[in-house]
Homo-oligomer: A and B are copies of this chain.
Amino acid sequence: MGRPSMAAERTEQIMQATARCLQKHGLAGTTLERVAEESGLSRSHVRHYVGNRDDLLQKFANWLYSGYEAEFIGRIAGADGRDKLPIVMDYLFSTGFLPISDDDTVIRELITAGIADERIRVVMQTHYTQAIQSVEDALAAEHPEASPGARRAVAYGLWCLAMGNSMMAELQLPVASGGLVRAAAESLLERLSRHG
């Protein structure tokens, strides 16, 4: 064996720096140099540990979503029965004091990257497919009598509501921070309560 590997720590450093960069400077502004600066390492370090810029973004997507898988998808799968839906609703429409979570910006930038880069896109496709499925599972636990088609539409609707609202919030549109999405989301949910 040679010198012990710093890869694990360094990669973590770099990923977190990448997140901060995406948040502060957007996708185009997330250059290897800036990530290096933000992480306190040199650009050569970044290249050494994660490769070129495309590699960086792809690894970052994996890193980010594997975190979410534990935090969201995992938590829903772990919760039982009627505990699921409140978790989902809070996650999608948490109306805390922060208008948007820090991650929302990062995610949107990543989506932009995914439109151009297939590897990133695939990561996001599989993640989002799972996430929407989790929403559907939560709905199924709450409304087992509803039709699968209706559940699917509502699940996807909730998801789109959350994504769309996050976009509007990033534009600092006043209407985005008034809890109006949550009202719309509740309306969607009512459909499942009404006709079985």
Contact = CB atoms under 8 A, between A and B. Distances in A.
Interface of A: 25-28, 105, 108-109, 111-112, 114-116, 121, 124-125, 128-129, 132, 149-150, 152-154, 156-157, 159-165, 167-168, 170-175, 180-181, 183-185, 187-188, 190-191
Given A28-B28, A164-B163, A190-B191, A111 B171 contact: yes
3 closest A-B pairs by beta carbon, nearest first, are: A157-B184, A160-B164, A163-B164
Contacts of A108: 112
A160 B170 CA distance: 13
Contact of A105 (B115, B173, B180): B115
B171 A184 contact: no
Contacts of A174: 129
Contacts of A161: 157, 160-161, 164
Contacts of A167: 111, 160, 163-164, 167
Nearest to A181: B160
Given A156-B184, A160-B165, A128 B27 contact: no
Contacts of A132: 175
Contacts of A128: 168, 171, 173
